[in-house]
Homo-oligomer: A and B are copies of this chain.
Amino acid sequence: MSTEEPKRRPGGRSSRVQAAVFQAVRQLTAERGYGAFTVGEVAERAGVADTTIYRRWGTLEALLMEAVVNQLTVDSPLPSTGSLETDLRTYAAKVAADIHGPDGLAVLRTVTAALSAGPDGETARDQYLAVRADQIDQMLAPARDRGEKTPTTLDVLDVLLAPMYIRVLFGAGPLTPDYVNSLVDRLLSL
């Protein structure tokens, strides 16, 4: 995040620039794979100056991860129906659909590649994970507040997300609805 424009208004020029840059990143990632392009190519595709990107994001790595975090938080709001089981099944099906598509695989690759990208990458990865953990906790909080038996965020990571992520990363079979629901069953029976 730039600290130079603390009063950015949503919907203003700054917001339009961000949307154009993130869209360019998503397109280039889908076309060429994670990070297989330059800041200059992102700038050209987005119709902005290179310096605009460098001033605002600093590095390609930081830009890539912020684009992913933005995509997740904007495109993947978590369900809140009043029933933990319904929320978890909806959420699990959504995650499965997301990570099976090219966008979702790009997200997983972004996060795992961030590990190899030094301190910038690790910071960006931790930012992604903090956003995701917050979202999951918000989904669990109502049931916890009602006094229901509720898994923790780490349970959700271990029992629900980790198997789906690893199966996609390892190419180890499709995420069928039956399989995804069996993971939710396992999570609810902890």
Interface residues of A (CB under 8 A from B): 33-34, 105, 108-109, 111-113, 115-116, 122, 125-126, 129, 154, 157-159, 161-163, 165-167, 169-173, 183
Contact = CB atoms under 8 A, between A and B. Distances in A.
Given A158-B183, A163-B158, A165-B162, A171 B122 contact: yes
A154 B166 CA distance: 11
How many chain copies does the complex carry? Answer: 2
Nearest to A118: B33
A169 B112 contact: yes
A125 B169 CA distance: 10
A34 to B, nearest CB: 6
B109 A171 contact: no
Nearest to A105: B115
Closest 9 CB pairs of A and B: A158-B163, A162-B166, A162-B162, A112-B112, A162-B163, A33-B116, A112-B169, A165-B166, A129-B170
Nearest to A183: B158
Contact of A109 (B112, B158, B163, B183): B112
